[in-house]
Amino acid sequence: MAVTLVAAGALVVPAQPAAAKVDPIRALTAQFVTGKGVKLKTVLQVRPKGGKGSVTQELGAIQFGPKGPIAADLNEKTRYDKGFFDDADNDERGVRKSLEAPGRVISLPKFTYVQGPRAGQGLPEGKYWVRKRPLPPVPGGVIVNVFEPNTVKTLIAKAASTRGGVVRGTTTSAKMAALSPVFRKQFGPGGKSESGQISTIAYAFTLSKEGLVTRLSVTMRMPVGGGTVVDYTSETRLYNWGTKVAVVAPRAEAVIDEKDVKR
């Protein structure tokens, strides 16, 4: 009788609740807190098929506001493939090689400040920064902006697979231009190359157990006319979500406005 009662009792033990499903959009928007942000590293390769190209690394932090990124401080450096400058004479080669010097970009709501190759040559003595119009406060090399909730939601919904925390799919530059404000600013409102052609894009991003993107891989194949195709390959690591970030402008005395720079 005792054995029977114990067995019966075992049958009525309530089942454990299933683990709550992670919501990547809610996880992302929860990070949009003033004074908080994320650190990242992006490596972008741009290379014509069968030709010589470049590799650009961007490393730094993005600062959030209540609606998303509002500022960024990124160090960048570009390296060109060996032989990329062989068609230039000695003087021109020196100018082009200067493009491999380290640079830095500080993006704020009203202005963007650039230092290094983006600032150009011949700045007045004591001026190290050029102030320009505001640019999106994200690395140019990410291609797919995973800080836009609607963009992330759409790419997940249209993904070919979402297994093991990895979302994989394909789209086009035209669809991305219609979807992403930052993509439109980087690649034009129609997402077409100068020859009027549309690119194919493959994306994959890894979600943490909290639902935050920790890795992003994007490949964009862009036909540019004349049978030439340029491949963009981007790898981004995102880490320290929720860290304190406070991006500030350079010292005023070290800044010159773009319109005042004599070329």
> What pLDDT is stored for residue 263 in this prediction?
62
CA dist 219 → 42, 157, 197, 234, 243 (Å):
13, 19, 16, 6, 29
> What pLDDT is stored for residue 6 in this prediction?
37
Query: Which amino acid, residue 59?
Result: L
Contact 203, 221 (CB under 8 A): no
Pairing mode, if any, of strands 255-257 and 129-132?
parallel
> What pLDDT is stored for residue 12 in this prediction?
43
Contact 139, 104 (CB under 8 A): no
Contact 142, 213 (CB under 8 A): no
> What pLDDT is stored for residue 5 in this prediction?
34
> What pLDDT is stored for residue 248 in this prediction?
97
Counted residue by residue, the chain has a size of: 263
> What pLDDT is stored for residue 20 in this prediction?
52
Report field, pTM of the whole predicted structure over 0.85:
yes
Domains and CATH numbers, the chain: 22-260 (2.50.20)
Least Cα distance to 180 among 213, 146, 204, 157 occurs for 146
> What pLDDT is stored for residue 3 in this prediction?
39
Q: What is the distance between the alpha carbons of residues 188 and 122, in angstroms, rounded to a whole number?
A: 30
> What pLDDT is stored for residue 13 in this prediction?
42
Q: Identify the segments of the chain with pLDDT beneath 70.
A: 1-20, 263
Contact 222, 173 (CB under 8 A): yes
> What pLDDT is stored for residue 8 in this prediction?
38
